[in-house]
Structure 1
């Protein structure tokens, strides 16, 4: 069983000779992917689970409830059919809320009320995930979480107080003989998501976090944004109206990662970089001596994408993509 203890804002997990961690990112509300992540951690007997951001789902579906009959998108469902549909929603990361016909009429034209409902469902879903994790792995494996660019900051309040899920962002987490710092903001995107930052500000913010590290050569940078111009940051090039560019029948890909993240990795040369954000770019790469990894994401298929990383002494002994 791993040993973990609090030291102010710092935490220590595992032993100094050997360490196993499992990293995932961009689960986006998929309870199926989250449960698979917990199960994989138990199966592989890891010392820590790390979620690199974007826990929140992106879509909320209202379900109008009238007795034992339910209506959604103009279709009628009985209880049995609805349960099958809700199972699919939990798999693909779609949120849902039950409303009466009057409640639906009250909120359909009110964006503020819709946002309030969305936030409530988002928080309640994360609370349910924490309960699932506490039942399965409490006292066995800690889960370290930073929020991503799609996650509102109030989700940190939900995480606070959990016995199994810990906020890593803003803290130093000691994993064996390695210090991990975490950061969930990304460079600007076309979608103007909640947690974005211009590159100069990212560089300054990250540099301040890096100054907390005692041994940079053994450090882990858990940054949601992948470094620019690597195998980790290739995404479809978009037109001004946000449609993919296609040439010769092929989708055109372009590098969209953070130049600040890349520059800091080049300058400081940590042992490992853990990244996410770009779902299409499951890959590993090297920047100098630094190994950088993005496990990718297929959350909307209920598929877990993760990376098992094994440390021995001050080195990464091995790493393996795990998905399914």
Structure 2
């Protein structure tokens, strides 16, 4: 059995895509992402009248059209950040740690849902088994999402049989 193992992608969508593509590239029978799946940063993209504003790596940008918005969001996602499109009022409402955490968790779980859809397509609808586990930097709210996914196996607290080998 050939296993491809990775860990600590911390929300990087480019690393997620590479992880999913590794199954075919290395002809792996199984892929495992051992933990620290989610990212640590949410970046607000403020929707203005006819454009958007975002600060990426200290550079304030004005995004004039949907293509520029999508390019900025992709750049953020590829580097492990969660782009959050907000109105000025929504940005002002993110004034407490609780409000920030709630929005951050929403962005994180929506991103994970999108990633699991990618996994289903790349791993041939479950023909290539994929085991995912949360890590010390992941929130517990991702656990039921992983557990409910038909295309991955959530490994937390389980003993998995891998063709006669046990994974704990």
Task: State whether TM-score is above 0.5.
Answer: yes
RMSD: 1.3
Which residue of 6, 9, 22 corresponds with 1:40? Answer: 22
State the match for 1:162 in structure 2. 149
Contact 2:126–2:152 under 8 Å retained in 1: no
Count of equivalent residues = 162
State the match for 2:135 in structure 1. 148
Q: Which has the higher strand share?
A: 1
State the match for 1:112 in structure 2. 98
State the match for 1:65 in structure 2. 47
Structure 1 stretches (4+) deviating beyond 4 angstroms?
none
SS of 1:160's equivalent in the other structure is helix
Aligned-pair CA distance for 1:177: 2.5
Please give the alpha-carbon distance, in whole angstroms, between the structure 2 residues aligned to 1:47 and 1:67.
50
SS of 1:27's equivalent in the other structure is coil
Say if 2:74 is the partner of 1:87.
Answer: yes
Deviation readout 1:166-225 (Å, 9 max, x if unpaired):
1111111111221010xxxxxxxxxxxxxxxxxxxxxxxxxxxxxxxxxxxxxxxxxxxx
State the match for 1:306 in structure 2. none
SS of 1:23's equivalent in the other structure is strand
Contact 2:77–2:83 under 8 Å retained in 1: no
Q: Which has the higher helix share?
A: 2
SS of 1:63's equivalent in the other structure is strand
Aligned-pair CA distance for 1:160: 1.8
Tell me which of the two structures has the higher relative contact order, counting C-alpha pairs closer than 8 angstroms and 6 or more residues apart.
2
Q: Which runs of 5+ in 1 are unaligned?
A: 1-18, 182-324
Please give the alpha-carbon distance, in whole angstroms, between the structure 2 residues aligned to 1:91 and 1:150.
18
